[in-house]
């Protein structure tokens, strides 16, 4: 218990191949958002019919704001 434990979840960044950090999980909707600290890319996952996590889209937050306007 001496120190912080680093949480690792399955997944690597599609851009820089670094380990992803969990940002948000919604078990009711079956969605999760993972964040890459090195390239600041967000990865959006959704559970499929069999219960596996599938990548739906990836991008930076500023990219999503530009598309919505």
Confidence of residue 60 (pLDDT cuts 50, 70, 90): confident
Domain-embedded: residue 18: yes
Pairwise pLDDT comparison (68 vs 49), residue with the higher score: 49
Domain-embedded: residue 24: yes
Residues 39/15, Cβ–Cβ less than 8 Å: yes
Residues 36/15, Cβ–Cβ less than 8 Å: yes
Range of the domain at 44: 9-60
Domain-embedded: residue 1: no
Domain-embedded: residue 17: yes
Residues 41/14, Cβ–Cβ less than 8 Å: yes
What pLDDT score was predicted for residue 44?
A: 93
Confidence of residue 11 (pLDDT cuts 50, 70, 90): confident
Domain-embedded: residue 26: yes
Model pLDDT for residues 13-57, shown as the tens digit of each residue: 888 888 999 999 998 999 999 999 888 899 999 999 998 999 999
């Amino acid at each position: 218990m001496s120190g912080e434990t680093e949480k690792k979840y399955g997944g690597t960044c599609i851009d820089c191949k670094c380990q992803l950090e969990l940002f948000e999980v919604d078990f009711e909707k079956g969605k999760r958002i993972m964040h890459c600290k090195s390239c600041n890319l967000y990865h959006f996952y959704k559970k499929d019919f069999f219960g596996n996590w599938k990548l739906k889209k990836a991008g930076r937050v500023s990219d999503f704001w530009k598309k919505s306007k």
